[in-house]
Structure formats: structure tokens, C-alpha cells
Amino acid sequence: MEKKLYSINAIYHTPNDIIRAAKAVRDAGYTKFDVHTPYPVHGLDGAMGLKETKLGFVTLAAGILGAVGMISFASWVAVVDYPQVIGGKPYWSWPAFVPVTYEIAVLLAVLGTVGAMIAFFFKFPNTSHPLHDTPYMKKVSSDKFGVTIQAEDPQFDEKKVRDLLKTTGGEVEEVHYTEEFLTFKPNTFEPKFLLLLAGIALATSAGGYLYFNKVLYLPPFDWMVEQPRFDVQSTTDLFDDGLTMRLPVEGTIARGFMPYPYTLGAKADSVGKLLVNPVVKTAASLDLGKRKYLTYCSPCHGNFGSGDSRMNGQFPNPPTLHSDKVRTWPDGAIFHTITVGQNVMPGYQYQLSREERWAVVNYIRTLQRAYNAKESDLQ
Ligand code: HEC
């Protein structure tokens, strides 16, 4: 069987020769040709008439994909998956995403570019090329310069190509496909290939593990998880009081918490004038007030606020909430009493939220109205 021709090549000895030859081949109208030199020769791409590569678009697309993907991922983590208040900043604090977005954009751009080169230029999983291991390749990768015109060029004619290359002063030779190359069928699932992949994976992970654990993290470097740290509820000699757990800095206010400025010493009557009831009496809010009243107040004040305690003398009986005093109190005065307490009655600001305390106030108003119903209430 006659061997199939891959290309006709010519070997030259100087960079000037190869530039002249490349120009001649291009001017003759060949498109499927290539030039090989042992080192980069300036002006060669111009002489060959190479167009600017489109690889940049792949880089751009991969970079944009990386940036958009990373911003979305970081936003999702910071806002939806694991919202954390850090330094009092909002959840979606975008300046924090800039470094990682930049890194991932560059990473994906690079990987995309290399991937595209492997896929499109090297036609992966094809791993060989007809020029591999030829005498031609040996020459042009040491000290010679070569042009190769492929047989699949549309205007390829063996005699014309030979003549053209000869006129440019090259030593003409030809390259045939090898039997092996023609019969090669890339098979990604070939056991040898998979075994090689597994070997590479094993070697890199073992190498990485040893490097990080034995070389890079020798003292004084250390893994973060193994750093000395204080456990909660433990003691230390770092602080004067011997406690590892610290109180927040004085004046710290928790998010969503409204500090209450008045203390037990403040008179309910005067504080009451300063506070405005913000809770509108709706069915839902009154129902909330009722539930909280029955849970937290009724044991002492009775189910309807008349002071019929269920404590059987274990706690001083409170006065009725239907007295003229409490009825004419502003809402704020009751709120103040619930919040900080009054004499023996404890405050309930830790059991009941602000909104719940106002709801209880509204519910007490409802009880008072029921106890002192007027003619007009019946209509
Ligand atoms: C452990 C029993 C107890 C519980 C529970 C309790 N109180 Fe009191 N409350 C008292 C006592 C006792 C007094 C009277 C305190 C005093 O000597 O001034 C009082 C006083 C009051 C006063 C002032 C009455 C006045 O005439 O001065 C109001 C208003 C009040 N309580 C509302 C509430 C509300 C609302 C709740 C539920 C959030 C509640 N209390 C829960 C025992 C209790």
C-alpha cells in the first residue's frame, strides 16, 4: 500500500531565508501551510499573513463568566445562605467581593484559554501529529528553519509545490502519515489513559499533602484549626478577671434591639407622658396581647385584671388594674411598669418584646373597657 502524503517541507539555514520563503508560499496562495523555527523570529507572522487569533474572545467570555459567577455566588452566600453582620456592614457589602471576583475571573480566563487551545488547536483527545518525531521536526527544533505545505491544501499540486520550494532555496523533503497515526482512534476511556489520570491525581494529592503538612506547615507555621484558642466558659490568665468570655464593649446595642432609657427610679406617671403607643389595636395584636397577658400577668393579676391572684399567698396580691388610677394612666405608664417593674413586681422586658408589651397594654385597655362598659359600648 502506498503511503499517504501529509506534506512537502523545505529546510532553510537562516531566518532571512525562512521569511522570504514564508512570503513566497503565502503569495502563491497556499493556506494550509506552517513554518517552524527553533526560536521566535520577528516579522514571521506578518510574512505568513497570519490573522489575529480569535482566542481572545474565549478568554474574555471565560473571564466574564468567572466574574459574574463569582459575584452571584458571593452574593448568595453573604445574603441568603450564611448572612453574617461583620463590622456593622450590610450583608451585601460588595467591596468585600472584589478580590475574590478578580481572582476567579483571571482563573477562569486562564483555564478557558488553555482549555480552548487544547480542544481547538491540538484537537484533544488527539495526542499526536504527523510531524512528530520526523527528521524534519528534529532539524527545525535545533538549528534549522522549515516550511511545510500540507497535502490537503485546496491548490496542492506536488510538482508545483516542489518547484516553488526549490526556487526559494530550500532543501525539499516529504512527510508521510505513519500507519500508527492513521489507525489511531482516540479513546478517552482507554484503561491506560484512565490509569494515567488516576496516577496523576494520586501523585499530586500525595505531593500536595506532604508539602503542606511536612514542608510548608512546619513550625512556626501552623494549621488554623490547630491554633491555641479559648473555649467558652473556661478560665484564662490573660484577663484580670480570669474569664475567657468577654462582655460586649459598653454601650453596644444589638441589632433590632431598642434600648429602654428609663429605670425603676423613674415615675410611671411622668415617663408615661413621654412614651407613645406605636401598636395599632388590630384583632391579631389584641390576640397576641391576650396570650401574653394570660401567660405572664394572669397568675398574679387574675384572668381579667381584677387582682384575684392564683398564687395562694405565695406572692403579695397586686391591686386591681381597673382602679381609677390605672384607668386614667397614659398607656406609657403601664408600659413602663411592665418594662421595669414596680416595687415587688418584677420587670418583663426580657420575657416580652417591645411590641408584645404594647400589645399587653392594649389588651389591659380592652379589659378595663369591658369592666366599665358604658351605654354607648352596647350599641
Ligand atoms: C409575680 C406576680 C405578678 C406578675 C406576674 C405581674 N404582676 Fe403586675 N403587679 C404585681 C404586684 C404585687 C403589683 C403591685 C406592686 C406595688 O406594690 O406597687 C403589681 C403592679 C402592677 C401594675 C401597677 C398597678 C398599680 O395600681 O400601681 C401594673 C399596671 C401591672 N402590675 C401590670 C402587670 C402586667 C401587664 C403584667 C404581665 C406582663 C404583670 N403586672 C405581671 C404582681 C405581678
CA of 351, closest atom in ligand 1? 38
| 298 close to 348: Cβ distance less than 8 angstroms | no
The reported pLDDT for the residue numbered 300 is 95
- Say yes or no: CB of residue 275 within 6 Å of ligand 1: no
Stretch among 67-71, 213-217, 278-282 having the lowest mean pLDDT: 213-217
Q: How far is CA 2 from the centre of its chain?
A: 60
Measure the CA–CA gap between 338 and 334, rounded to whole angstroms: 6
User: Which residues have CB under 8 Å from 6's CB, separation 6+?
Assistant: 130, 131, 150, 151, 175, 176, 177
| 36 close to 140: Cβ distance less than 8 angstroms | yes
The reported pLDDT for the residue numbered 126 is 73
Label residue 347 left, alpha or beta by phi (over 0 means left) and psi (-120 to 50 means alpha): beta
| 44 close to 18: Cβ distance less than 8 angstroms | yes
| 69 close to 104: Cβ distance less than 8 angstroms | yes
Measure the CA–CA gap between 137 and 20, rounded to whole angstroms: 20
Report the alpha-carbon angle 372-376-377, nearest 5.
55
Measure the CA–CA gap between 35 and 30, rounded to whole angstroms: 13
Q: Which amino acid is at 358?
A: W
Q: Look at the alpha carbons of 132, 136, 141, 142 in this order and tell me if their dihedral is positive or negative.
A: positive
Q: Is the pLDDT reported for residue 10 higher than 70?
A: yes
Q: Is the pLDDT reported for residue 342 higher than 60?
A: yes
Q: Is the pLDDT reported for residue 197 higher than 70?
A: yes
- Say yes or no: CB of residue 343 within 6 Å of ligand 1: yes
- 314 vs 220 pLDDT, higher one: 314
Q: Is 359 exposed, middle or buried (0-12, 13-18, 19+ CB in 10 A)?
A: buried
- Say yes or no: CB of residue 267 within 6 Å of ligand 1: no
| 146 close to 33: Cβ distance less than 8 angstroms | no
| 71 close to 84: Cβ distance less than 8 angstroms | no
The reported pLDDT for the residue numbered 129 is 86
| 269 close to 333: Cβ distance less than 8 angstroms | yes
User: Which residues have CB under 8 Å from 113's CB, separation 6+?
Assistant: 55, 58, 59, 62
The reported pLDDT for the residue numbered 378 is 79
Q: How far is CA 51 from the centre of its chain?
A: 38
Q: Grid coordinates in use for 108?
A: 477562569
Q: Is the pLDDT reported for residue 259 higher than 80?
A: yes
Q: Which of 126-130, 203-207, 236-240 has the highest mean pLDDT?
A: 203-207
Q: Is the pLDDT reported for residue 338 higher than 90?
A: yes
- pLDDT category at 180 given cuts 50, 70, 90 is confident
- Say yes or no: CB of residue 349 within 6 Å of ligand 1: no
Measure the CA–CA gap between 265 and 262, rounded to whole angstroms: 8
Q: Grid coordinates in use for 33?
A: 501551510
- pLDDT category at 312 given cuts 50, 70, 90 is confident
Mean pLDDT confidence for 52-81: 95
- pLDDT category at 217 given cuts 50, 70, 90 is confident
Q: Look at the alpha carbons of 311, 315, 319, 321 in this order and tell me if their dihedral is positive or negative.
A: negative
CA 154 / ligand 1 centre spacing (Å): 102
Q: Is the pLDDT reported for residue 57 higher than 90?
A: yes
Mean pLDDT confidence for 307-317: 90
The reported pLDDT for the residue numbered 284 is 95
The reported pLDDT for the residue numbered 184 is 76
Distances (CA, A) of 212 to 204, 207, 208, 313: 12, 8, 6, 71
The reported pLDDT for the residue numbered 374 is 86
Label residue 5 left, alpha or beta by phi (over 0 means left) and psi (-120 to 50 means alpha): beta
The reported pLDDT for the residue numbered 357 is 96
Whole-angstrom Cα Rg for the chain: 43
CA 273 / ligand 1 centre spacing (Å): 19
Average pLDDT, the chain: 91
Q: Is the pLDDT reported for residue 2 higher than 70?
A: no
- Say yes or no: CB of residue 328 within 6 Å of ligand 1: no
* Percent of the chain's residues with pLDDT above 90: 72
The alpha carbon torsion through 63, 69, 74, 76 (nearest 10 deg) reads 170
Which residue's CA is minimally distant from atom 36 of ligand 1? 297
The reported pLDDT for the residue numbered 104 is 97
Quick: pLDDT tens for 13-47.
999 999 999 999 999 999 999 999 999 999 999 99
The reported pLDDT for the residue numbered 140 is 95
Q: Is the pLDDT reported for residue 1 higher than 70?
A: no
CA 141 / ligand 1 centre spacing (Å): 97
Measure the CA–CA gap between 203 and 207, rounded to whole angstroms: 6
CA of 329, closest atom in ligand 1? 29
